[in-house]
A and B are shown apart, each in its own frame.
Chain A
Amino acid sequence: MKRGLMALAGALAVLMVQSAGAQTLRWSAPGDVVSFDPNAQLDSFTQNIQLMVYDTLVRRNRKLEIEPGLATSWEVVEPTRWRFKLRPGVKFHDGERFTADDVVTTVMRTIDPDSRNKGNLATVVKAEKVDDMTVDLVLSGPYPLLLNDLTGIFVMSKGWLEKNHALKPGNTSTGVTTFASTHANGTGPFKLESYAPDSKTVMTVNDGWWDKPEHNLKRIEFRPIKSDATRVAALLSGEIDMISSLPLQDVPRVTGTQGFKVVEDPSLRLIFLGFNWRPELFAEPGKKNPLLDVKVRQALWHAVDLDAIQKRIMRGKSRNTGTMVAPPVPGYVADIDKPLAFDLALSKKLLTEAGYPNGFKTGLSCTNDRYIADEQLCLAIAGMWTKAGLQVEVKTESKATYFPRQDRGELDVWMLGWATLPQMDGFSVLSGIFASRKDGYGGSNAGGMVVPALDDLARKAAVELDETKRRAMMGEAFRIAKDQALFIPLHRQPLAWAMKTNVDVPQFPDEYVRPWFAKVN
């Protein structure tokens, strides 16, 4: 009898503990929120967290398709004027009603010359209030990606910004830090309760949210942990319910531990190699750049054993690819997504045909702290190219020094990862990597590559409002890149999260954590 009572009491205690803590999601990731001011930074992780507090005019659903958010409908009145109908009955966290004034203020604050993310809304010239629940966005020209851009523009409250003297965005050069950097007042599913950098950010559920919640959370506690080993330990010790970004080497350990599970999926981020297009290579000054020959580039591609990389380095978790954009992204064409076959004999034959029977000397550069196993990738590829007869000078370095070097075009063969974010559209590859560096295009095309057909396609796709035609243009660009072996796409890198078995947080290939779809049982 006594023992039975004790067992009952014990079971009750367990139940009570579970129900008390059940609806709190304690989550950890290596990064932290940089600022709560949406216009003060461009950090994608920060924007991920802000999206829990702030809503956008249009948003992404479970399939990452664009759907109505604070705007219920929209139409293109003229090619340069889009009209948005706003959702009635929405309230900010402080109880203020959401109106067109808030959208106008948000847009003007975003495109303010001092705003850090003004590039995320580069084509918008101004916002005009039509009536209380209607807003026009005026563009500098026809632009097909306005909705994509708006998924990253967080709607702030005009009254709240005015009251707290935060109408101007925060700015690094003038040292402006506003009330909005550490406080937040959105219309989103969660309210910001407290924010302690590097330590803890707490949010509570917004019971007055306009949308029907698909989650059962009452509270989110975000605790950043930079060290991989400590983050995994914090999960296994039960202090944390979920960690986003679980290091690949810890996957077996977590799956083998009772009460925990691993969720994995390939991310949108595609890792590829790009080339130096200048007359000579840095590794061999004074000689003609062999990489300018399409046969050489194909030879290098044929010499890379992607399957071996996938099995040994990526532990079977990555997805090999033959094109420059991931399947869920507009512009992707399935039939060119096949890498050139690994064929060392063919590689050598192509090199001989190109006039390099004994190979040549080239540099190969990678980060060692940015992408998954980036350094091992570089070393493995160097080994494979050596077998094809090349002399490869491998150089790996920290992202802080690597990216500036890449940006200045100081590398012969370089590695880059591209997720097409925040637009999530193939155009990001066309404008940033394929087009030559001119009039704002080619931000990451520092190798000096100039392909007139690609320049042309990028400019046409930029103003094409017909979605079918636009996708065809992008597909054609990806086909040219493959035929000419302008780049060597390697794989989509894997994304792994770990959580307790009673926690259910869906994973998305854009690596965003969306707790408004999360369940804690």
Chain B
Amino acid sequence: MIASIGSRLGQAVLVMLAVTAIAFVMFRYVGDPVAMMSREDASPAEKAQLRASLGLDRPVLVQYGDFLGRTLKGDLGISFRNQRPVVDLLAERLPATLELVIVATILSLSVGIPLGVYCALKPDGALARAIQTLSLVGISMPTFVTGIGLILIFAVTLRWLPSFGRGDVVQIGGWSTGFLTRSGLLSLLLPSVTLALYQLTLIMRLVRAEMIDVLSSDYIRFARARGLPPRYINFRLALRNALMPVVTVTGLQIGSLIAFAIVTETVFQWPGMGLLFIQAVSFADVPVMAAYLLFVGFLFVVINMVVDLTYTLIDPRLRTRRA
């Protein structure tokens, strides 16, 4: 077990190294912050001096080594744009993104699972078919279209919900939360629905497929033959087994939700990490972009590791094979 964790950690470090290298090389080509930071009529000397003061005149390898060294010490550098430590910027934005992702996940599970179960139990019902058809829309609709559509209906036409921002937030320690104010909760609705929609349909279709699979298996048929009540069969026996892959997918999806909250955050001006990243891209703010990529890379590595280790814990066959 310990050896397995050890090798996992080793792999994780290698992956993170690769991510830093890719991040660094890639950002050589996204543009030159000096051009974005200079006055319109800046002289060549001014630009050269700025380049030197940012350390951009040094060879790429030296810059990379410097970046790596600082990163290991937990220093992600200073944002070119507003000159604040990147770690602080990320920490400020993390609550907004996490709250959005948590609500979106809860929403997609609490709506997706019941819908999936319903569609599996009544596969030929008219309502189930309608839900199935609608889910196709949910899966194929780009996030920004959904977002703008919801804004037009609920903010512009009906004027029920705010179209952008996080509303009023309350500071608890270093954490800013929108959960405790009315405007904060109202502001959460549209973006979290937008973000949840894809995951919701995914979970729904997954639950449905798994349920149908399980319901046609032998032990369910035996249970029916024994005359057990349908509620017990459907929910205690079938759903429990069908939920195993759902747990895995949800876990993995949380990573992509955080990473892909970018679009939703841009549409709703949600002051999270995704918006920070987009602003950084349009400004060629390399330290922020690199840090964000590192963070997302780290998140994926951790989630994958946890999922893998959980498998090993749950499934005894995986353990014996390794031993």
Contact = CB atoms under 8 A, between A and B. Distances in A.
Contacts of A403: 31-32, 35-36
Given A35-B83, A239-B163, A440 B39 contact: no
B38 A226 contact: no
B6 to A, nearest CB: 36
Interface string B279-309: 1011110000000000000000000000000
Interface string A198-212: 111000000000000
A225 B37 CA distance: 21
A42 B163 contact: no
Given A41-B82, A398-B31, A226 B156 contact: no
Interface residues of B, number: 53
Interface residues of A, number: 60
B276 A198 contact: yes
B165 A223 contact: yes
Interface string A26-62: 0000001011000011100000000000000000000
A175 B163 contact: no
A196 interface: yes
B189 to A, nearest CB: 14
A230 B31 CA distance: 27
Interface in A412-460: 418-423, 428, 431-432, 437, 440-444
Given A35-B82, A170-B83, A230-B268, A237 B159 contact: yes
Nearest to A236: B156
B46 A443 contact: yes
A440 B43 CA distance: 5
B24 interface: no
Given A172-B83, A226-B279, A404 B165 contact: no
B148 interface: yes
Q: Is the interface of A mostly helix, strand, loop or mixed?
A: loop
Contact of B39 (A32, A42, A231, A238): A42
Contacts of B29: 401
A175 B88 CA distance: 12
Contacts of B163: 230, 233-234, 237, 239
A120 B148 CA distance: 41
A198 B96 CA distance: 12
Contacts of A418: 40
A119 B43 contact: yes
A443 B50 CA distance: 14
Interface string A380-411: 00000000000000000011110110010000
Interface string A286-320: 00000000000000000000000000000000000
Interface in A206-231: 223-227, 229-231
B98 interface: no
Nearest to B159: A237
Interface in A40-92: 40-42
6 contacts: A35-B82, A177-B85, A230-B148, A230-B163, A421-B40, A422-B39
Query: Sorted from nearest, which 4 A-B pairs have the closest CB atoms?
Result: A400-B31, A404-B32, A403-B35, A432-B41
